[in-house]
C-alpha cells in the first residue's frame, strides 16, 4: 500500500480493488468464518490446435488437455473496513470506497 501511495504524483489518486471475504452469494461461497488467506486454482489451458476435434473452445479450436496446467494463486480476502484501515496505516487517505461484484474497492491518495 505504501509503495502505491509513494509513486503517485502530486494530486494523484489510485483505484485499488481487492477480493472480498463477504461473497456468500457467489459461486465461491466465502463469507464470515472462512479463512482470509486462501489458495485459488488458476487453470492454464493447453495449446490450441487449428482444426476442430474433440474438446473445443467456443471458437471451435481444439484444446490439448494434456498440456493444461493448474497453478495455485495466493489471495488475501479482505473483510469489510480492512482495506480502508490498510490505506490509513500506510499514511494514505480514502477518497471514496465501496463494494462491487464480490470486491471491496477504494480510491486512495497520499496524505498531504
The pLDDT value recorded for residue 73 is 94
The pLDDT value recorded for residue 110 is 96
Task: Give the start-to-end residue ranges of the domains of the chain.
Answer: 1-36+77-112, 38-76
The pLDDT value recorded for residue 83 is 98
List, for residues 54-104, the tens digit of each pLDDT value.
566 666 656 555 678 899 999 999 999 999 999 999 999 999 999 999 999
Fold of 1-36+77-112: Rossmann fold (3.40.50)
Banded pLDDT at 7 (limits 50, 70, 90): very high
Strand partners, 38: 75
How many CA atoms does the CB half-sphere of 14 hold within 13 Å?
A: 19
The secondary structure element, H or E, covering residue 6 is helix 2-7
Q: What does the alpha-carbon distance between residue 37 and residue 19 come to, in Å, rounded to a whole number? A: 11
List, for residues 16-69, the tens digit of each pLDDT value.
999 999 998 888 889 998 999 999 998 888 765 555 555 666 666 565 556 788
Amino acid at each position: 500500500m505504501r509503495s502505491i501511495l509513494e509513486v503517485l504524483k502530486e494530486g494523484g489518486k489510485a483505484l485499488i480493488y481487492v477480493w472480498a471475504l463477504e461473497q456468500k452469494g457467489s459461486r465461491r461461497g466465502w463469507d464470515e468464518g472462512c479463512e482470509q488467506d486462501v489458495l485459488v486454482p488458476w487453470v492454464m489451458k493447453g495449446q490450441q490446435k487449428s482444426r476442430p476435434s474433440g474438446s473445443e473452445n467456443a471458437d471451435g479450436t481444439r484444446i490439448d488437455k494434456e498440456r493444461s496446467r493448474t497453478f495455485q494463486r495466493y489471495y488475501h480476502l479482505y473483510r469489510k473496513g480492512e482495506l480502508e484501515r490498510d490505506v490509513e496505516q500506510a499514511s494514505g487517505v480514502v477518497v471514496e470506497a465501496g463494494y462491487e461484484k464480490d470486491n471491496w474497492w477504494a480510491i486512495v491518495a497520499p496524505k498531504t
